[in-house]
Homo-oligomer: A and B are copies of this chain.
Amino acid sequence: MASKLTAGDLQIITRIAVFRGLKAETVEHIIAPATALMLRPHDWIVRQDDPATAFFIVIDGWVKLYRSTQSGDETVIDIMTKGQSFAESVAFTGNRYMATAEAVSEARVARIPADHIVRCIRQSPDIALGMVASISQHMHHLMQQVEQLKAQSGVQRVAEFLASLSLTEQGHCAVALPYDKVLIAGRLGLTPESLSRAFARLRSIGVVVDASHVVVKDVAKLRQLANDDRSSVRGTLRAVR
């Protein structure tokens, strides 16, 4: 299950947020004891509440972060892919993992032992600043999620999600849904049924969803819908078949 990192893995790892601005040799020193995990769907990487001994970088595939409540159901916190890191902050502090990480596709993930990183930081503090920058991004993302859940309706969250998939700023575009709809629904705090109905409503402003294939007539309109005041959106958008 665990193996060595390949040259290709290094390529990806060295150019991501956590290690940005560090010298190549510094990065190589940090990840010397790292290993690569090969995962199949439903394999887990870490368990919520386990003591943190490492942090991780997704090299390929998709990884779901979720929290389990006492009553048993799971809440999706985030879904990560190539070039994204997770669990940095707890790895440093020796706390417990805040969420379970589980592969939702075939995935390759680099595992960097915590104790080694802590030693590296004591030697060259610049590493810490890079890590803080990465953690800061995660915080920003979480804040945006809180904001979305509190201030936007379900349809608006779906619109924003689709807009975020598109690289263009405006006009026509086609994107592919990155993972299945049950998972997208969880990510957005909706049931699969509600997500399906949200798509149906977005058809009225020129969004066509067919399986994982999405065509958007005007991305700007999507973004505007997402950013409008909740109350000004209310009542517009009838479901279209």
Contacts and interface: CB of A to CB of B under 8 A. Distances in A.
Interface residues of A, number: 44
Contacts of A145: 146
A139 B137 CA distance: 11
Given A77-B146, A146-B146, A150-B189, A122 B121 contact: no
Contacts of A136: 89-90, 92-93, 95, 135
A70 B223 CA distance: 11
Interface string A118-153: 100110011011011101101110110111011100
Interface stretch (A165-173, A192-200, A201-209, A225-233): A225-233
Given A93-B132, A139-B142, A147 B77 contact: yes
Given A71-B228, A138-B139, A89 B151 contact: no
Interface in A90-111: 90, 92-93, 95, 98-99
A73 interface: yes
Interface string A64-97: 0001011111011100000000000110110100
A134 B143 CA distance: 16
Given A98-B139, A131-B132, A147 B71 contact: no
A143 B77 contact: yes
Given A136-B92, A142-B139, A227 B71 contact: yes
B139 A129 contact: no
A48 to B, nearest CB: 10
B135 A128 contact: no
A183 to B, nearest CB: 14
B69 A151 contact: yes
Interface of A: 67, 69-73, 75-77, 89-90, 92-93, 95, 98-99, 118, 121-122, 125-126, 128-129, 131-133, 135-136, 138-140, 142-143, 145-147, 149-151, 189, 227-229, 232
Given A98-B139, A128-B128, 5 more contacts: A67-B147, A71-B227, A71-B228, A89-B136, A142-B143
